Amino acid sequence: MKDTEVTEMTTSRSPPVRVAVEFVIYSDTLSSDEVSNRLGIQATGSAAKGVKLGKRTRTPITIPRHMWQLSSEAHVGASDLGSHLTWVLAKLSPLQEQLREIRTVGSAEFRLVGRVWTSGTSVHVQLSKPVLNALVTLDLELQLEFADYGQDE
């Protein structure tokens, strides 16, 4: 595998149906607006700490921490994990110092999740050295989640 390749993904029946990579910051003290200001980029999703009412049921829901999210799903048209990881890591790589400060000052927890939905029976993911280096440099762990959309019969 070449170093310039990000990932290689194959399924036994068909390519992934849907792919997304999400970087999420959970903080007890920093709101999503504060995180956006410190990073200089807007979240693609957020939630404020506190109690809110559910949209359908109007049931009170307790949100224990502020949440700031950067998702590739609406920004990357490709259906391969590599393109989505590249997009998110390209946004985060120049922000290494800001992320370190947020992690320290904001009592923050970071999560990087790659989600792959398939209609096949298996998926193979191989990460390249540049992606692995970026994960180490940013002090991030990648969590992979796989789901089967099933088959149309």
Measured CA to CA, the distance from residue 85 to residue 71 in angstroms comes to 10
Q: How much is the pLDDT for 151? A: 60
Instruction: Report which of residues 55 and 23 the model is more confident about.
Output: 23
Q: How much is the pLDDT for 58? A: 84
Helix/strand number for the chain, H first, E second: 4, 9
Measured torsion, CA atoms of residues 90, 94, 97, 98, in degrees rounded to the nearest 10: -70
Taking 50 as the threshold, does the pLDDT of residue 140 lie above it?
Answer: yes
> Coil, strand or helix: which one is 88?
helix
Instruction: Report which of residues 32 and 60 the model is more confident about.
Output: 32
Tens digits of residue pLDDT in 19-54: 899 999 999 999 999 999 999 999 999 999 988 877
Q: Mean pLDDT of all residues in the chain? A: 85
* Torsion over CA: 60, 61, 66, 70 (sign): negative
Give the residue-averaged pLDDT of 109-122. Answer: 86
Q: How much is the pLDDT for 92? A: 97
User: What is the percent of the chain where pLDDT is above 90?
Assistant: 55
Q: How much is the pLDDT for 119? A: 76
The helix (H) or strand (E) run that includes residue 112 is strand 108-118
* Burial (CB count within 10 angstroms: exposed 0-12, middle 13-18, buried 19+), residue 124: exposed
Taking 90 as the threshold, does the pLDDT of residue 153 lie above it?
Answer: no
Q: How much is the pLDDT for 11? A: 40
Tens digits of residue pLDDT in 69-97: 999 999 998 888 888 999 999 999 999 99
CA distances from 55 to 19, 52, 67, 77 (A): 26, 9, 18, 29
* Burial (CB count within 10 angstroms: exposed 0-12, middle 13-18, buried 19+), residue 140: middle
Taking 90 as the threshold, does the pLDDT of residue 4 lie above it?
Answer: no
Domain ranges of the chain: 7-148
